[in-house]
Amino acid sequence: MARKKPKHPNYINRELSWLEFNQRVLDEAHDPEVPLLERLKFLAITTTNLDEFFMVRVGVLQQLVERGNTRPDPAGMTPDEQLTAVSSRTHEMTLQQYDCYLNELEPALNEAGIRRVRSNELTEQQTEVAEQFFEQLIYPVMSPMAVSGADEFHALAGGTLKACVRLDDSATGLPRPPALSQANATGDGDDTEIVGGLNESDANAADESSRPPVIRILPFGRNVPRFVTLPSEGGYSYILLEDVVAMFVHRFFPSERVVECVPFRITRNADLSVREDMASDLLAEMEQVLDQRREANCVRLEVAENVTPQTLTFLSEALNLQPRDVYACPGPIGLKAFMQLTSLSGFDELKYESWSPRPSPQVDSTRPIFDVVARKDVLLIHPFESFEPVVRLIDEAADDPDVLAIKQTLYRSSRESPIVGALARAAEKGKYVTVIVELRARFDEARNIEWAKNLEQSGVQVLYGVKGLKTHAKICIIVRREPHGIQRYVHFGTGNYNEQTARLYTDVSLLTCDEQLGEDASNFFNAVSGDSMPQAFHKIVMAPISLRDRVLELIETETARKNQGQKAAIKAKLNSLVDPRIIDALYKASQAGVDIKLNIRGICCLRPGVKGLSENISVLSIVDRFLEHSRILYCLHGGDQLVFISSADWMPRNLDRRVELLTPIEDAALKERLIEVLDCNLQDTVKSSRLLADGTYERVRPRGRRKKLRSQEELYEAAKHAERQAQQSRRTIFEPHQAPERRSS
């Protein structure tokens, strides 16, 4: 599909760039070399990603349009132009999703023994099971809602499946709703009568289309299974919940005639902000925002493509949607639900081989973690190396009588978090525990509110971040009394304190008791918890105060060195690159001849390879079994090789509206290891794609005799090799058994 030429040649629109990232995820679902259930997983992820994109980014753009905002973004596009471009691209992507599912994955799954059965394919025994399921779990649970317009739709939750049922009132005299305009009707289809699960032609379709419909909505709810297991002679057979509802929907309306029953799903705007300057109780205010989100404006309607124009018009007008907001789906709505099938037992041959995190050879599991870190800084590369030492650090601190205080940030955590449990236990044992819980971590607000309340009940001093800023930094400091005095142990990370996602995301952890980093950590917590300006840091850099300035300084230093005839190079690994000032600094460095290699997983608004602007910049993106999440920065710096890890992406929101950290890695061996990680990512020829100047991507393939290199596999094999070497080293150390001391009688 031809893409519109950008108005501003220096930048790529961030929304379209994000959609290109989601396309790369979808490409994994198309890839026949990926195991079948993993392909299904990638397809489900693309749907989840699009849901969040509509809830946040499209919701914001619609608000801007409603306010009459015509201010262009850095790429030169107004909000309305962005909405039009986004709609075109997402409609295209939706068709690709269903093409992938219907024409590639579903036939292959059926052949592999995972069979979706349609209602007209059921055996007599399967029909009995479906009917029993309806009678026991659908009919007693679901309740039809009479709706006549927009007012009743405010009560419908976003993100869940529903059925729109149209009734024929010609014989029963049912009251009709006020007439609605047909102006927004799109699509075509035949009115159908559903009787006992059998579809019959409606002879009065033409007459019905000119009259306002009588509509009932059946919300499916979140607790009714989407996949109804059916008896089969082998493998796994199922029928979808919406198909069972359609088979027996007439039982909800015994005295009326059902002429149409179509599944649909709505997406609501989730970008509702808190007026922090007016909120006396942020926790209570956040709970109110979550309530408001349930009734926010609808930003998307997904509906079965066989919906009739009459019903589609009713839904569109009741939800106040334009045609560009409506998505006709030729297959099951909400493909993210198919993630459930990817965990089916008995189909291991359709999944990736398990890559369990390896224990780090730097960490002796037989010794207290404090002894390990006191001896030497520890660098962990997740998920190839286990997150267990980080959990153990906090767990041991909770029970250690010499630990005086624990201070930590929590942005996202798991449902049954051992870290949160350890923090509560530490407070109950009398330690001074301070936790900064970010209540505004989008889509984790409810969980964080629950954690905050539980921690407060345990005696933890809970802070809800900083006014006007999200606390996104990943830092924990433990203050311990030791024979030589007070010692600080600090963890800096690029990812969340979540032991589950630490098995799925690539991230970096630094465990250290470096004196200056410890003092910086104390100053950081004193600043964010004490309503005061932070004292000068020795080593770390903090957003929104100076992180952008430090990154610009590093880029400009490389530029100056190159202009002086020295070698200069920049390598960076990030999730997103959006900030115009940093992009412009990189352009200037490229024009000076600085070699710049970027590994940007998601959004990248920089245009690489443009003559006279960015020909010395290359951008790769890796999409593989683990989500690339770590942030690493490298500068040659005249041969000194400066290396940093960070919680921040190079986006205005991170640099201006979040509390973030940039932490130097100074140990020579640890620096070298991170450089190896960067280089490995940049050499990927299996799962990487190259960003082109027009904003599209092309898959990287090995050239000539260059061997295939899959960076995640390479890093996992390196972790296994290091583990084997450590085991071999321990076997060559002879430790004699000592005779027990004898007591003299």
Residues 101 and 140 in one domain: no
Distance of CA 162 to the CA centre of its chain: 25
Average of per-residue pLDDT across 295-312:
90
Strand partners, 570: 596, 635
Per-residue tokens: 404 = 């005086």
Residues 311 and 345 in one domain: no
Whether the upstream peptide bond of residue 107 has omega within 30° of 0, thus cis, is no
Residues 302 and 200 in one domain: yes
pLDDT digits (tens, 9 = 90+) for 248-286: 999 999 989 999 999 999 998 876 543 433 333 434 443
Residues 514 and 647 in one domain: no
Distance (Å, rounded) from C-alpha 262 to C-alpha 264?
A: 7
Name the residue range of residue 507's domain.
369-538
Q: Answer yes or no: is 733 within a domain.
A: no
Per-residue tokens: 49 = 């990603």
Q: Answer yes or no: is 735 within a domain.
A: no
Mind telling me the catalytic residues? Answer: 472
Residues 80 and 199 in one domain: no
pLDDT band, residue 158 (cuts 50/70/90): confident
Find tokens 């349009």 and name the residue. Answer: 65
Per DSSP (E only), the strands in 155-233 are 162-168, 192-195, 198-201, 214-219, 227-230
Find tokens 């009394």 and name the residue. Answer: 481
CA count, 13 A, side-chain hemisphere, 716: 18
The phi, psi pair for 203, rounded to 5°, reads -70, -20
Q: Which residue has the higher pLDDT, 148 or 720?
A: 720
CATH (domain of 472):
3.30.870.10
3-state secondary structure of 446: helix
Residues 277 and 184 in one domain: yes
Q: Where are the alpha helices (DSSP H) in 67-105?
A: 79-100
3-state secondary structure of 378: strand
Picking from 184-193, 307-316, 458-467, 556-565, which range would have the lowest pLDDT averaged per residue? 184-193
Residues 175 and 285 in one domain: yes
Residues 485 and 340 in one domain: no
Residues 129 and 193 in one domain: yes
CATH (domain of 103):
1.20.58.310
Kind of pairing, strands 632-635 and 432-437? unpaired
Average of per-residue pLDDT across 644-669:
96
Q: Answer yes or no: is 424 within a domain.
A: yes
pLDDT digits (tens, 9 = 90+) for 657-690: 999 999 999 999 999 999 999 999 999 999 999 9
User: Letter for the amino acid at 561?
Assistant: R
Kind of pairing, strands 298-304 and 326-329? parallel
The count of structural domains within the chain is 4
pLDDT band, residue 203 (cuts 50/70/90): very low
pLDDT band, residue 294 (cuts 50/70/90): very low
Residues 84 and 233 in one domain: no
Q: Answer yes or no: is 621 within a domain.
A: yes
* pLDDT at 182 (0 to 100): 33
pLDDT digits (tens, 9 = 90+) for 527-560: 888 666 667 899 999 999 999 999 999 999 999 9
* Helix H or strand E encompassing 313: helix 309-318
CATH (domain of 147):
3.30.1840.10
Angle made by CA atoms 466, 548, 541, in degrees to the nearest 5: 65
Distance (Å, rounded) from C-alpha 546 to C-alpha 533?
A: 13
Distance of CA 498 to the CA centre of its chain: 14
